Chains A and B, each alone.
Chain A
Amino acid sequence: MSRYELRFSGAGGQGLITAGIIMAKAASIYEGKQAVQSQSYGPEARGGASKSEVIISDGPIDYPKVTQCDALLAMTQEAANKYSHDLKEGGVLLIDSDLVKVIPAGNFKTVAFPIINTAKTEVGREIVANIVALGAMVALTGQVTRENAEKAVLSSVPEAFIELNRKAFSMGYEKALEASA
């Protein structure tokens, strides 16, 4: 049975748990697949290590955590160092090129672009960096269609921020395709 494992990692406050939730929602509510999202984080509300894991499958999902990661997002150097060890051969690593300077070695594809800076300067708000990252992960993993992922994003954000998030998602999607080409 197909089992695809994603991990969104970085620091508390970067919105990575939300990004994971939206990815899983896209798969399970809009794509007709099954998905489980889980997370682990420290006692801090901000800072500290944070990760959100998503398993996507065509059938029932038993173990809800990552066993061998297919796709990893690392938004800090610490996360890149800590979580790239179980990245599969042929898997994909997405990093913020401004924050992850030492790229972990391994038999996987690394895609890098300045995620937070893209949110800040091109979308206009740093707070949507997680949605930029999500757009990129959707493009790189191919587990859900762009349309379904966008639906999941738009149904998860407040009315007033729909356009901002739509732009962030598209920007992330396009940038990832460019960066991985």
Chain B
Amino acid sequence: MSKKVAFLQGNEAAAQGALYAGCNFFGGYPITPSTEVAEVMSVELPKIGGKFIQMEDEIGAMAVILGAALAGSKVLTSTSGPGLSLKQELIGYGCIAEIPCVIYNVMRGGPSTGMPTGPSQSDVMCAKWGTHGDHPAICLTPASVQETYEEVIRAFNLSEKYRTPVMVMPDEIVAHMRERIVFPEKGEIEVVPRKAPTVEPAQYKPYDTSYGDVPPLASFGSGYRFHVTGLNKMQDGFPTTKAEVVQAEEERQVRKVDANIDDIVTFEEYLLDDAEVVVVAYGSTSRSARYAVNAAREQGIKAGMFRIKTFWPFPDKQIKALATKTKGFIIPEMNLGMCALELERCVQGKAPVLGIFRVDGEPINPDQIVEKIKEVK
């Protein structure tokens, strides 16, 4: 039997991906350019016995998905920049209380309400530093409709595997663009279940590190009593200020991601084998970059592209390796140089890093990138 295909928008694909991953609870507050996710979920979730709720605002939406996740649901919220700002307090709560959830954020112009219908990539730092305190951060930046579908599934898997909030951040172009999508069969893409406790309810501790850095999570209301707080906590979930416990717990939470970077980080290398100029790009901008790299090759310039699929954790190791054999890096992005700073950190001055930064609501066109490629001597 041939596979099911459809002509879908990125946002519609995101919702379908969530459903494939077993999402059964959506809480949100509509906002351009992400509203289509909520629209699809409001139609589809009731059909499978799931729950859709439109909350009074964005932080309410974040609160409701955290609660639903603790009660055993696989949860999604969708938003855009201004909503992401409003969710930050509870994103930190999700990190410290170690609650699996997926936050789908479509990047539009900012700061504040900015340019609601214009594309942007200016939320990538907010994905890591938006909520205060040391905490793990995972953020995926898909570049096509098919990839948006697949990365939302992967986001659910990572959130369950590492018991932490995961963000998926397409820019408005990817989110609103329509392309053909081929749906995988059931079972074709792995769906990671939540690690459930194996002990009796009386013995259960929600942060029991004897199971490793990611302790099993019981569903609230299933007989396993536990305490949830935003305070630094002990293994039983109750607050503590005991120095060695707080230090160890904070380090463990960050280590969940840091020690598993190779499992989380994904990227694409395009024509890098002999590349002298490397364009580093993510999201829709990588599509301009691919066009530009092909155009530069036709003109005899050895250009290639390193496409970031996982923005956080950042692909430090791969960029460091490239820095030793590259004449120059080009970073086109729809912000004023956010990824450029990360690149410079990894390149450590071994090669120039040239930026193309646009915040005017227009996409970066391939010609701009070709011109910049030619500047590398």
Q: Which residues of A come within 8 Å of B, CB atoms? A: 21, 24-25, 28-29, 34-43, 62-65, 67
Contacts and interface: CB of A to CB of B under 8 A. Distances in A.
Interface of B: 5-7, 116-118, 173, 176-180, 284, 287-288, 290-291, 294, 363, 365-367
B177 A37 contact: yes
Contact of A42 (B117, B176, B291): B117
B180 A28 contact: yes
A111 B175 CA distance: 34
B363 A43 contact: no
A62 B178 contact: no
Contacts of B118: 40
B173 A64 contact: yes
B288 A21 contact: no
A149 to B, nearest CB: 13
Contact of B177 (A41, A62, A64): A64
A15 to B, nearest CB: 15
Contacts of A37: 177-179
Given A62-B294, A64-B287, 4 more contacts: A24-B178, A25-B7, A29-B180, A63-B290
B177 A36 contact: yes
Nearest to B284: A64
A28 B181 CA distance: 10
A34 B287 contact: no
**Secondary structure of the A side of the interface?**
mixed
A63 B116 CA distance: 22
Nearest to A1: B294
A28 B5 CA distance: 10
A62 B179 contact: no
A42 B109 CA distance: 13
A70 B178 CA distance: 20
Contacts of B287: 62-64
B117 A40 contact: yes
B212 to A, nearest CB: 41
A65 B284 CA distance: 10
B7 A29 contact: yes
Contacts of A29: 5-7, 180
Contacts of B179: 28, 35-37
Given A36-B178, A64-B173, A65-B363, A43 B117 contact: yes
A39 B366 CA distance: 18
Contact of A63 (B6, B7, B178, B291): B291
A62 B297 CA distance: 15
Query: Which of B6, B173, B180, B365 has the most chain A CB atoms closer than 10 A to its own CB?
Result: B180
B7 A24 contact: yes
Q: Which 9 A-B pairs have the closest CB atoms?
A: A62-B290, A63-B291, A37-B178, A25-B7, A28-B180, A62-B291, A38-B177, A62-B287, A63-B288
10 contacts: A25-B7, A29-B7, A35-B180, A39-B176, A40-B117, A40-B118, A41-B117, A63-B291, A64-B173, A67-B367
Given A28-B7, A29-B180, A36-B178, A62 B288 contact: yes
A18 to B, nearest CB: 11
Contacts of B173: 38, 64-65
Contacts of A62: 287-288, 290-291, 294
Nearest to A28: B180
A63 B176 contact: no
A43 B178 contact: no
Contacts of A35: 7, 179-180
A25 B7 CA distance: 6
Contacts of A67: 291, 365-367
